[in-house]
Amino acid sequence: MKREDYISWDEYFMGIALLSAQRSKDNSTQVGACIVSPEHKILSLGYNGMPKGCADDEMPWDRDGTPLDTKYFYVCHAELNAILNADIGSLRGATVYVTLFPCNECTKAIIQTGIKEVVYLDDKYHDTDATRASRRMLEMTGVKCRRYEPSGRELTFAL
């Protein structure tokens, strides 16, 4: 008989997105993304961080202050990082698992690459214009969007 207590695909891929988020140096919000093919193969991973070549220690991570002294002009979001990190020809038909609902800019990239489903864990910016715009574009383009429902199961392992 086969084992029955294995984790589901959703648990597996959201778990990998959560693990990827732990690579972020952002002191307030860590976001991870995992892009998966229709055949359940991982195509790419990403987390929110500075662009390649921009030294983390020399870049601003603050949320408040003048725009050039905050993280917002510099940080590359997890979804966009995963899209840009993909080392394959196409993401068409893929699913992106992301720990935070995508902003409008990442949503544009999701749509343009042909990703067909967004599975998100948290939606803490639900009432902002950016996420309203995201929902509008996702609905308009037929990209399926659903909230990940945590199973409550826990996995622990030593690193």
Q: Which residues are catalytic?
A: 79
Alpha carbon of residue 17 to chain centroid: 7
| Element containing residue 79 per DSSP (H, E) | helix 78-85
Name the nearest CA neighbour of 120 among 14, 7, 40.
14
Q: Tell me how far CA of residue 27 lies from CA of 21, 61, 67, 80, 148, in angstroms.
A: 12, 7, 17, 19, 24
